[in-house]
Amino acid sequence: MAFFDPYGDPSRALRIALVALLLAAVVATAGAFAADPEAAAPSPVAYDDAVELGLSAETDALMAGSARVPRTQVFYSQLQYVVGYNGVESFAATLDDGRTERQFGYPITAYVETFDDARPGTTETGLFASESAGEWTTAAEATYVVGSDARSPAGETVVPFRERDAAEAFAADHGGRAVDWETVRGRSFDTDSAATVRSMAPERWDAAAERVAAAERRADRPVSVVVGADAPTIEAAVAAAPANTTVVVPPGTYDETLTVNESVTIAGEDARISGDGNGSVITVRAPDVALTGIAVDGSGNQTRDPEAAREGRAGDGGVDGSGDDESWDTNIQLGYGHGDAGIRAIGAPGLVVDDVTVEANASGLLLRERSHAVVRDLRVDGTDEWQDGFMGITGMESRVTVTDSAFEGGRDGIYLHRADGSIVRNSTFADNRYGTHLMYTGDALIADNAFENELYAGVTVMTRPAGNAIVGNDVRNSSAGIQVSGTRTYVGYNTLVGNELGFSTSSRGSLYERNVAADNELGARATTVVPSSRVVANDFVGNADHATAGAGALRVWADGDRGNYWDGANVGVHEPGERAYRPTSPVDAALHREVAAVAVRESPAVALLDRLRGTVPGARSGSIIDPTPATAPYSPDRVDAAIAPGAGPVRTDWRAELDGGSGDEDAAMNAHDRSGTADGIEPRAQRSDRTPTAAGATAPAAGPVVGSTRGVSDV
């Protein structure tokens, strides 16, 4: 098998073509980094020109005033991009993580943002702040204040200064102590990470249960008015009911629209409220209103209010007071939040919607102006064509807890905009544009939902989110399963079957684990130019292509000695798990589809290319390697259930596994989770014996390691 005979069998054409492609790749990429990166010390660049990693520098907390996250920009020996880290601690955590150097090379030069002349301080909420941006200083020459009362949105932050006197003055005012660069890089920091989000996912599930229980208590009120007996219409009954009582709506159809201005429960008994086709059917303008046991139809079909958007652009400063009248965000809030709905809540926190059905011409449930709501057993039937309708739930600046609900048809099943802390669980979505769609929304939990036949994606999270957990969902027969952007996201225990794309690794500093990608056209796509996330312990089975990568550095999809399971990776003469697997390689990608590709993989030409990948920087770009592929699926029962004929949504007890672990496989991950570093990477003392050593793994780049006599340690 070590050599192959091109004339030996009918698969000859396949093998020759694959070898030709591989050799062409060597020629095409070998010159990508032809310039000597150490010919001259590079100067700082405009930070907008760097590829950002670390925390999001654009969170709402920072946009609201003078708050800042100190920044770092780093030039790596084998990366054509300048990497910008939001948070000095984010960069420090990478220096000995074993993955960053392998992917980017060693740091040639690192600059930190120093604040000597920027009047540094803190906001009222404790975030680090300054009157202006800082100046760039090499990392080794700066002095840092650690342990102060200055925080970032993710926790502790390090504040750099050019002069030690300035650092000591800041420490005198804000606590902490002034230290040098070597001390900073040796510390662990108390910051939230994807591992933190992982550990918090079960707590968020429990928080949803508590919110639902509290909603039940709010809705349970004594009866005061019965429609028909005590008042002729529902609106008249609501107007007559004292606060904190229940209006009972007997069976029947009620042709009316109503506004609720009092904290009451409207409890139907097989009751339907039908509007006249104009505007919203029920408008809630009071706190702690409960709507139970009713069906709603007959709303208008206006999906947004152009007049509201025009008024916002005319100079009201926008809904967030930013004064940026032309901002896209303002237009979305003013437009999307002002359409028609079966139920519309405006400034109505504490809303309870339970056992309700809405036939939606536009939105089913529209929440606006902090109308935080608990929704249980809601069914929204949207339009057949998504362009004709709108969202099942539209939440604008309103946290929502959704459980045991169903959304079919229309534009998006659930659309949330600036709705931090929302939870969507145990619900079903079908035939939407997007199933669940989050914008500017962080610290959310999307768990144990089933999505099917979604035109664009099951779960999509866009535009500066942080700290979201996407767990235990099942997405089938959709364009994409899960596409999540932002930072510090946990994507775990999801089952993705029969989609065009299973999931993309678009979120920075995130953790993708224990997902099953089966029978998709493409299992996963690496999309960030500079990788910063962990992709580990996932099962890739039966996909036409397991994974692809766009432009950028080499992606190492493993964590120490734990890789992913790739159907077909372990065929050939090597012992299972002993040879690295490259899903982006034409040969490796074909192993689970074409047995003949094994002969090519064992050929001298491919062996030469393997060596070149470890020594030629250009051959590292735009690719994925798993140096320690698993020998068997991590979740075999879930894999079997996912691909069984006629299988329905697959469930997993992820809460028990995350709460208590599941044996040796989770022990290593849990050790990472407890480390407290910015990316959940374990401390150096714990990591010394866990460097990947699998045969065929890409070797580290030629040149010194960080901490030697070259690189950032003595820049």
Tell me the mean pLDDT in the region 225-251: 97
pLDDT of res. 582? 87
pLDDT above 70 (res 680): no
pLDDT tens, position by position, 66-76 = 789 999 999 99
Tell me the mean pLDDT in the region 647-670: 69
Tell me the mean pLDDT in the region 316-343: 64
Q: Is 94 left (phi over 0), alpha (psi -120 to 50) or beta?
A: alpha
pLDDT of res. 551? 79
pLDDT tens, position by position, 438-465 = 998 999 999 999 999 999 999 999 987 8
Number of C-beta neighbours around residue 663 at 10 A: 8
pLDDT of res. 301? 92
3-state class of 604 per DSSP? helix
pLDDT of res. 599? 56
Tell me the mean pLDDT in the region 323-344: 73
Number of C-beta neighbours around residue 549 at 10 A: 24
Tell me the mean pLDDT in the region 234-260: 97
Which of 28-42, 454-468, 663-677, 693-707 shows the lowest per-residue confidence on average (mean pLDDT)?
Answer: 693-707
Residue pair 553/505 in contact (Cβ under 8 Å)? The answer is: no
Overall pTM surpassing 0.85 (yes/no) = no
- Which residues share a beta bridge with 127? 151
pLDDT of res. 689? 31
pLDDT of res. 18? 45
pLDDT of res. 441? 93
Q: Is 207 left (phi over 0), alpha (psi -120 to 50) or beta?
A: alpha
pLDDT tens, position by position, 498-546 = 999 999 999 988 999 999 999 999 999 998 777 889 999 999 999 999 9
The single-letter DSSP state of residue 566 is E
Please give the biggest Cα pair distance in the chain.
Answer: 92
Which of 82-91, 96-105, 396-405, 673-682 shows the lowest per-residue confidence on average (mean pLDDT)?
Answer: 673-682
- What is the C-alpha separation between 699 and 196, in angstroms, rounded? 31
pLDDT tens, position by position, 369-425 = 999 999 999 999 999 888 888 999 999 999 999 999 999 999 999 999 999 999 999
Joined tokens for residue 378: 């809601």
**Sheet with strand 159-161: strands edge to edge:** 159-161, 143-146, 177-179
Q: Name the strand (E) or helix (H) holding 586.
A: helix 586-589
Q: How confident is the model at residue 604 (pLDDT cuts 50, 70, 90)?
A: low
pLDDT of res. 257? 97
- What is the C-alpha separation between 304 and 314, in angstroms, rounded? 17
pLDDT of res. 24? 43
As a dihedral over the C-alpha atoms of residue 112, residue 80, residue 508, residue 687, rounded to 10 degrees, the angle is -80
Of the chain, the percentage scoring pLDDT greater than 70 comes to 77
Angle among Cα 173, 178, 180 to the nearest 5 degrees reads 160
Q: Name the strand (E) or helix (H) holding 235.
A: helix 234-240
Q: What is the mean pLDDT of the chain?
A: 81
pLDDT tens, position by position, 168-198 = 999 999 999 999 999 999 888 777 788 889 9
Dihedrals φ, ψ of 471, to 5°?
-135, 135
As a dihedral over the C-alpha atoms of residue 96, residue 633, residue 631, residue 615, rounded to 10 degrees, the angle is -40
pLDDT of res. 602? 58
pLDDT of res. 325? 36
Of 602 and 76, more confident: 76
pLDDT tens, position by position, 134-175 = 999 999 999 999 999 999 888 889 999 999 999 999 999 999
pLDDT of res. 711? 38
Q: How confident is the model at residue 586 (pLDDT cuts 50, 70, 90)?
A: confident
